[in-house]
């Protein structure tokens, strides 16, 4: 089990190319299809009961350019992860996220989540920004 962010960090640093590193946030870059790359971020979150969760997320596209109804329809069809909005330098962006409680995390789950969120985020990015590769 991976019960601390320090343990997750140790594993991630061995398995992925780390491109961003803060106390409770790591950014990695993965290769997706056709030589494309996607940045994926891992962060520790605590809920109201002080239980820790690992958030795996990737930025997909600027929010302003997209119909919220279409995004909610996409969100409904997602089987792994969910769409959310987060700011990047003060600009709202669509993000694809997945939260997992630490008590269930294994190395295989972290690896799978990073690849699944990164690859799906890249596909959504291509669809929403006409094949662009921003992230």
> Model confidence at 88, in pLDDT bands (50, 70, 90)?
confident
CB atoms within 10 A of CB 103: 11
pLDDT at position 134 is: 56
pTM of the complete model beyond 0.75: yes
Residue 28: strand pairing partners: 18, 40
> Model confidence at 127, in pLDDT bands (50, 70, 90)?
confident
Tell whether the model's pLDDT for residue 64 goes beyond 90: no
């Amino acid at each position: 089990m991976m019960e601390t962010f320090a343990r997750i960090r140790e594993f991630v640093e061995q398995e992925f190319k780390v491109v961003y590193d803060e106390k409770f946030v790591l950014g990695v870059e993965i290769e997706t299809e056709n030589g494309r790359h996607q940045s994926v971020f891992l962060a520790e979150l605590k809920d109201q009961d002080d239980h820790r969760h690992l958030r795996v997320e990737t930025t997909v596209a600027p929010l302003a350019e997209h119909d919220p109804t279409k995004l909610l329809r996409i969100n409904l069809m997602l089987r792994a992860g969910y769409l959310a909005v987060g700011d990047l330098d003060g600009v709202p962006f669509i993000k694809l996220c997945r939260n997992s409680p630490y008590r269930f995390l294994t190395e295989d789950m972290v690896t799978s989540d990073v690849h699944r969120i990164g690859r799906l985020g890249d596909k959504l990015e291509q669809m929403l920004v006409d094949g662009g590769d921003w992230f």
